[in-house]
Amino acid sequence: MSTPTATIVAARTRLELKMFARHREQMAVTFAMPVLLLVLLALIGGGTVDGTGVAESRVHAAGMIAVGIVSAGFQGLALAVAAERQDGTLKRLRGTPMPPVAYLLGKIAQVIVVSLAQVALLLVVGVIGLDLTLPHDPMRWLTFAWVFVLGVTVATLLGLAASGLMRKGANGALIILPFTALQFVSGVFVEPSQLPHGVQQFAALFPLKWLTQGMRSVFLPDSFRAVEPAGSWELGRVALVLAAWGVIALVVWIRTFRWIENER
């Protein structure tokens, strides 16, 4: 990346973060909703997963970290970018010297910062109130790093791709409902072993299941592998599926992205 482009990306990232901070309602939903769901799940559950000795609250914490990442990238960006196109923001940006890659990287950087803050908040809540233990093995934190980066990138690209498919007047429920449904089959609220085999196979087609599984490999003990569908963390497959979805989302975004609302 050339120095001028890097400067533009940095400036765009700062602007994206300022715009995010100005939307108090969006900030409240982004940070408060995963925490409230995590606490609610802990109050409803409270037991341990059979055969593992792992508290259900720890499983839910790992799942909500994955949900938070996808929520900030996919759900948040799909709605925000569609709104930017409809109110003419993207049309104005098109008339500036800013290269499209700077817009993309600025969005990814904004999601990384927001997701890191969200993960930190969830970890604090998990450690203080839900008996979550932070890993001591540096390799687990290395796993967290690449799963996090892949997850953020995929979620951001999916959000941008989905925004290009939304037409003027489209309801946000078209984004929110499928994402919510996937949470119930991807091991976020229910342990994978409790899901029917067909449901597990369906969930395996989508990145949320693999992102959630990757986060479980970081924050849960190895004893939990016994109740994973394959009896292991399958980190190689986690990387492969997330990377594949990233490529698919990038292609869809390139083919469907529109700077102007009526552009075809």
The residue-averaged pLDDT of 11-18 equals 87
pLDDT value of position 24: 78
Burial 238-248 (b: 16+ CB within 10 A, else e): bbebbeebbee
- Alpha carbon dihedral 44, 124, 105, 26, in 10-degree steps, equals 60
Question: Quick check: 168 pLDDT over 80?
Answer: no
Q: Dihedral sign, CA of 153, 157, 163, 165?
A: negative
Q: What average pLDDT is seen over the chain?
A: 86
**Confidence at 169, pLDDT banded by 50, 70, 90:** low
Residue 55 β-bridge partners: 48
Name every residue whose Cβ is closer than 8 Å to that of residue 122 and which is 6 or more positions away in sequence: 34, 35, 38, 61, 64, 65, 68
> For 141-155, 163-177, 207-221, which range has the lowest pLDDT when averaged over its residues?
163-177
217 confidence band (pLDDT: 50, 70, 90): very high
Round to whole Å and give the CA distance between 249 and 161. Answer: 6
**Which pLDDT score is estimated for 1?**
58
Task: Output the pLDDT for position 194.
Answer: 84
Residue 129 pLDDT exceeds 50: yes
Res 59 pLDDT > 60: yes
Band of pLDDT at residue 199, cut at 50, 70 and 90 = very high
Cβ contact 132:215 at 8 Å: no
Strongest mean pLDDT among 96-100, 103-107, 248-252, 257-261: 248-252
Is the pLDDT confidence value at 264 over 50? no
Q: What share of the chain in percent tops pLDDT 70?
A: 94
